[in-house]
């Protein structure tokens, strides 16, 4: 199995007024293909920061990071954007769907950006919605969907361009227990079907569903 | 005759100081514009004639006169000279004719009495009050005034729309804050009141700034057009009434715009404002 | 997709969008009006001057045509001299004056133009014919109404009127042979035209050989300015002005309106710009989370900017025709105010619609609107994604 994520000595510092916050203090991590990894830890331990670096949404202050064999720690903005489009799928706690678009159009968005033609794009979007069990809700807008349904749409969107890595930041954070359980089942299915997943979570059930749990505290991996 | 006076062709053969002139040489006064354009000074001698190429009289320039601030003379690039009445009558072959008499009276009652008495006895001419003549001759400026008022009206309407639009946008930006205030128990009245107060303060400050800008612009306009048209006329005047009207109007527009924008927001349920 | 998002965003806040469209439309209307004002008078006047094809005008030295009561001496010989030039196609002498028509116990006074009917360029025939014989006259509607006469009637006219003695001098009986519209006079101004020789005779010996103005039409291909310079050098007792020189004089006298137009036009542009900037800024600030997510899922920055700019462009596109209609209506109103200037020729318009100028103005506004959206949209799409998402999560 190849290594999808290779992180070495990642440091991320933030300036907050006069203080410097050391969010990550030299984190090293490797994630292999088809792994399902959960990163857990108390609030403020740096797990979301780490996820942002893995998602190439943020850049480390120092350290090295490779994803799918490509160095991503010093990419230009345009290269980083391109990388996120084609290699990364991101699922957010608050779904962040485009309120003005339907479920299908939300899934189509990254496909359109990647240059896929209209008919093919629609077909793929419907396929993905079918995969997450929302084929019948394709024409509904986010305001007409429940929290769980919105998160499923967000997952379908994240999978649109067949990413090398699916990242999820507290995906069950805004969901009730039952819906959360459905989400966990979906993640398990995704992983069984070959998707490499890294999840940041407080949810113990979600963490248990992962094959490997990484513990963080105070900006470091402790276990 | 006035037109002829205005465009009396002056043959510019200034005889500089030092040349001998006849003892009975008549004198004239010229306006400052002619003095500047023809480089004439008091004491210079010129020839005045009723037509170009015709023999005329040699006269001496006794005075240079400043133009009056007469709006009727704006944009007319003419020169004016003043002669003794009998001299001009002779030059033009007018005999003892005149275009008009000007009569000064003691007060308004005396004016009315004079007009009645003159018109009762006059044969072939009429007396008019200067004020009535001014109304008739200022029809052009009445049109300009109407035009300015129309432009002003359009500007006010446009400003009201812009103001409403921007207030709506800026108040809309605070929808979450408004939602939070409503959720913790603040009444719509309080919220609308605070927005209106803010809008009023901005309106007053803005209108005062506008008055300052308007005052500066007025000064620039006067300086510019006085130079262009070579006149002492004041083209723009900012009075207390105008300032008061501008501030009052801005205040009213600002308050109304703020009230409408805030009212619109507070009528929506807080959760809707939060996007839930 | 970008278009879908842009239109959806506009539809989301209908009241705001409608008001913004109205605001931009008002800006567009004002800008259009000012463009029409700045070019209208000049073009309208140029059209008027050239309507009869006369490119040069001769007037008494130091004056503009009909600015004063002065007349050109020996006008006939001057006209003959000019007609002899091979570069000249026609010369039309005009003598201005007044005629007094006794009507009952009172007198109706009318502007009188003595013309050469074969080459005249001062009036257009509405009914009847040009005055050919010495005792024939044409009049406009205002005169015919005041006199209570019509084409075919005769009138007694006098060139002189002494108000003190109430006597008329230089009287003649003239036959009205035509109803005309005077090109350079106001619609409500009473005016008549008759052969120049008749008017001179009625005026008396002082008018012999005199004219107030001579209009010159040069042949096709002749350099008008050169002809003007030649004539000015040859005829030192008159002022020769070309159409362009006349326009320059008009520009100078009406420079106030042009400058007002420029200032108000610039203000309209600035206000439109500010309006769109504010709208886009607020719109971007509201959707900053959404924008950051789009960037997070891989949508390129320029596409995000393009989506936002598309919104402001749509605003402009919708507002422009509304602004055009509004502008034409207000221009008509403003023109009707200025058209009541005393003595203004009927055909002079202060606000003239020229499609090219209008398109340029609206294009300028549209461009400024797009540029207005550029900075806030670029700024919004350039915010650090992680920090923005964190902020939005907390908010």
Dump pLDDT digits (tens) for A53-109: 999 988 999 999 999 999 999 998 888 888 999 999 999 888 888 888 899 999 998
Mean predicted confidence (pLDDT) in C23-38: 88
Q: Looking at per-residue confidence, does A14 or B75 come out higher?
A: A14
* pLDDT tier at B219, thresholds 50, 70, 90: very high
Percent of chain A with pLDDT over 90: 74
CA distance C307 to C283: 12
Task: Provide Rg for chain A, Cα atoms.
Answer: 17
Does the pLDDT of residue A3 top 90, yes or no?
Answer: yes
CA distance C242 to C230: 12
Which pLDDT score, from 0 to 100, does residue B276 have? 54
**Predicted complex ipTM:** 0.78
Which pLDDT score, from 0 to 100, does residue B74 have? 65
CA distance C306 to C313: 10
Mean predicted confidence (pLDDT) in B84-103: 88
Contact C294 A92 (CB under 8 A): no
* pLDDT tier at B5, thresholds 50, 70, 90: very low
Which residues does residue A213 pair with via DSSP β-bridges, in sequence order?
Answer: A38
Among the residue ranges B171-175, B179-183, B191-195, C311-315, the one predicted with the least confidence is B179-183
* pLDDT tier at B264, thresholds 50, 70, 90: confident
Which pLDDT score, from 0 to 100, does residue B133 have? 81
C-chain residues within 8 Å CB-CB of A112? 1
Mean predicted confidence (pLDDT) in B78-94: 89
Mean predicted confidence (pLDDT) in B142-166: 84
Average of per-residue pLDDT values in chain C: 88
Nearest CA in chain B to C343: B140
CA distance C280 to chain A (A): 17
Does the pLDDT of residue C339 top 50, yes or no?
Answer: yes
CB atoms within 10 A of CB B111: 17
CA distance B94 to chain C (A): 13
* pLDDT tier at B266, thresholds 50, 70, 90: confident
Nearest CA in chain C to B168: C16
Percent of chain B with pLDDT over 70: 86
Taking the CA atoms of A17, A22, A24 and A26 in sequence, report the sign of the dihedral they define: positive
* pLDDT tier at C393, thresholds 50, 70, 90: low
Does the pLDDT of residue C311 top 50, yes or no?
Answer: yes
| pLDDT tens digits, one per residue of C189-203 | 999 999 999 999 999
Which pLDDT score, from 0 to 100, does residue B11 have? 39
Structure tokens, C282? 């607020």
Q: Looking at per-residue confidence, does B140 or C151 come out higher?
A: C151
- B61, B44 in Cβ contact below 8 A? yes
Contact C333 B150 (CB under 8 A): yes
Q: Looking at per-residue confidence, does C186 or A33 come out higher?
A: A33
CA distance C145 to C122: 20
Percent of chain C with pLDDT over 70: 99
Average of per-residue pLDDT values in chain A: 92
- Using a CB–CB cut-off of 8 Å, the residues of A that contact C are 48-49, 52, 55, 57-58, 77-78, 81-86, 88, 90, 92-94, 96, 98-101, 105, 108-110, 112-114, 157-158, 161
Structure tokens, A53? 């670096």
Which pLDDT score, from 0 to 100, does residue C341 have? 82
Which pLDDT score, from 0 to 100, does residue C199 have? 95
Percent of chain C with pLDDT over 90: 42
Does the pLDDT of residue B125 top 90, yes or no?
Answer: no
Phi, psi dihedral angles at B128 (to 5 degrees): -130, 150
> Measured between CB atoms, does C334 come within 8 Å of chain B?
yes
| Residues 162 through 221 of chain C touching chain B, CB cutoff 8 Å | 162-166
Which pLDDT score, from 0 to 100, does residue B22 have? 47
| pLDDT tens digits, one per residue of A95-154 | 888 888 899 999 998 898 888 999 999 999 999 999 999 999 999 999 899 999 999 999
CA distance B118 to B130: 14
- A169, A93 in Cβ contact below 8 A? yes
CB atoms within 10 A of CB B97: 10
Which residues does residue B77 pair with via DSSP β-bridges, in sequence order?
Answer: none
Which pLDDT score, from 0 to 100, does residue B9 have? 40
Mean predicted confidence (pLDDT) in C134-157: 95
Mean predicted confidence (pLDDT) in B8-33: 59
Which pLDDT score, from 0 to 100, does residue C140 have? 95
Which pLDDT score, from 0 to 100, does residue B212 have? 94
pTM: predicted TM-score of the whole model, two decimal places: 0.74
> Measured between CB atoms, does B63 come within 8 Å of chain C?
no
Which pLDDT score, from 0 to 100, does residue B230 have? 82
Does the pLDDT of residue B75 top 80, yes or no?
Answer: no
């Amino acid at each position: 199995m190849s290594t999808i994520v290779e992180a070495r000595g990642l440091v991320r510092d933030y300036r907050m007024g006069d203080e410097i916050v050391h969010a990550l203090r030299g984190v090293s991590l490797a994630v292999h293909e088809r792994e399902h990894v959960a990163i857990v830890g108390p609030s403020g331990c740096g797990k979301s920061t780490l996820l942002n670096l893995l998602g190439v949404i943020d850049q480390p202050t120092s350290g090295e990071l490779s994803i799918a064999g490509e160095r991503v720690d010093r990419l230009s903005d345009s290269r980083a954007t391109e990388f996120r489009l084609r290699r990364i799928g991101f699922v957010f706690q608050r779904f962040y769907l485009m309120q003005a678009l339907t479920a299908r159009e939300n899934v189509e968005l990254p496909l359109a950006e990647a240059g896929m033609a209209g008919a093919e794009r629609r077909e793929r979007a419907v396929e993905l919605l079918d995969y997450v069990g929302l084929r019948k809700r394709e024409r509904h807008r986010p305001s007409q969907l429940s929290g769980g349904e919105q998160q499923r749409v967000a997952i379908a969107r994240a999978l649109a361009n067949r990413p090398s890595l699916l990242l999820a930041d507290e995906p069950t954070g805004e969901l009730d227990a039952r819906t959360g359980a459905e989400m966990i089942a979906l993640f398990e299915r995704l992983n069984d079907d070959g998707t490499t997943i890294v999840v940041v979570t407080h949810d113990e059930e979600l963490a248990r569903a992962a094959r490997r749990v990484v513990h963080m505290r105070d900006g470091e991996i402790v276990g | 005759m006035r037109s002829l006076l205005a465009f009396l062709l002056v043959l510019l053969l200034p005889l500089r100081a030092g040349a001998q002139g006849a003892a009975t040489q008549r004198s004239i006064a010229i306006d400052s514009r002619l003095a500047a354009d023809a480089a004439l000074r008091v004491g210079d001698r010129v020839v005045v004639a009723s037509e170009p190429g015709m023999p005329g009289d040699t006269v001496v320039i006794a005075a240079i006169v400043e133009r009056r601030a007469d709006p009727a003379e704006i944009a007319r690039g003419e020169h004016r000279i003043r002669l003794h009445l009998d001299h001009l009558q002779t030059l033009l072959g007018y005999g003892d004719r005149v275009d008009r008499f000007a009569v000064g009276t003691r007060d308004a009652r005396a004016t009315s009495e004079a007009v009645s008495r003159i018109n009762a006895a006059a044969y072939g001419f009429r007396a008019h009050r200067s004020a009535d003549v001014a109304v008739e001759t200022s029809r052009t400026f009445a049109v300009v005034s109407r035009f300015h008022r129309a432009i002003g009206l359009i500007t006010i309407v446009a400003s009201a729309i812009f103001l409403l639009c921007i207030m709506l946008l800026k108040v809309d930006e605070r929808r979450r804050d408004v939602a939070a205030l409503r959720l913790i128990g603040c009444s719509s009245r309080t919220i609308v009141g605070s927005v209106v107060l803010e809008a009023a303060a901005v309106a007053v400050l803005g209108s005062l700034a506008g008055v300052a800008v308007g005052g500066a612009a007025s000064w620039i306009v006067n300086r510019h057009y006085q130079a262009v048209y070579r006149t002492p006329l004041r083209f723009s005047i900012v009075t207390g009434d105008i300032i008061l009207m501008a501030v009052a109007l801005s205040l009213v527009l600002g308050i109304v715009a703020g009230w409408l924008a805030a009212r619109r927001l507070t009528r929506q349920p807080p959760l809707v404002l939060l996007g839930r | 997709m970008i278009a879908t998002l842009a239109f959806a965003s506009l539809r989301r806040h209908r009241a705001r969008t409608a008001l913004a469209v109205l605001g931009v439309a008002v800006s567009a209307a004002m800008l259009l009006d000012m463009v029409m004002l700045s070019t209208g008078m000049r073009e309208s006047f140029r059209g008027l001057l050239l309507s009869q094809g006369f490119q040069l005008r001769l007037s008494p030295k130091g004056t503009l045509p009909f600015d004063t009561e002065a007349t050109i001496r020996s006008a006939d010989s001057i006209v003959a001299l000019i007609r002899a030039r091979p570069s000249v196609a026609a010369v039309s002498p005009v003598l201005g004056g007044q005629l007094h028509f006794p009507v009952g116990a009172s007198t109706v006074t009318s502007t009188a133009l003595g013309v050469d009917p074969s080459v005249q360029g001062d009036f257009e025939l509405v009914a009847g014919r040009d005055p050919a014989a010495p005792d024939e006259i044409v009049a406009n509607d205002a005169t015919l109404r005041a006199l209570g006469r019509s084409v075919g009637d005769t009138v007694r006219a006098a060139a002189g009127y002494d108000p003190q003695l109430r006597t008329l001098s230089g009287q003649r009986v003239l036959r009205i042979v035509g109803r005309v519209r005077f090109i350079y006079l106001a619609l409500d101004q009473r005016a008549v035209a008759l052969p120049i020789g008749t008017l001179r005779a009625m005026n008396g010996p002082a008018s012999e050989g005199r004219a107030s103005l001579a209009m010159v039409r040069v042949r096709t291909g002749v350099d008008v300015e050169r002809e003007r310079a030649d004539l000015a050098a040859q005829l030192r007792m008159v002022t020769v002005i070309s159409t362009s020189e006349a326009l320059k004089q008009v520009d100078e006298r009406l420079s106030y309106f042009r400058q007002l137009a420029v200032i108000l036009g610039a203000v309209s542009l600035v206000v439109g710009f500010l309006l769109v900037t504010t709208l886009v800024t607020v719109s971007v600030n509201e959707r900053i989370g959404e924008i950051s997510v789009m960037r997070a899922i891989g949508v390129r920055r320029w596409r995000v900017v393009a989506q936002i700019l598309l919104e402001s462009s749509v605003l402009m596109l919708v507002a422009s025709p509304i602004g055009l209609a509004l502008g034409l209506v207000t221009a008509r109103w403003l023109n009707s105010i200025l058209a009541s200037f005393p003595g203004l020729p009927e055909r002079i318009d202060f606000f003239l619609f020229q499609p090219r100028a209008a398109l340029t103005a609206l294009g300028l506004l549209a461009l400024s609107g797009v540029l207005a959206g550029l900075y806030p949209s670029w700024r919004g799409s350039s915010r650090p994604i992680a920090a923005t998402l964190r902020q939005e999560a907390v908010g």
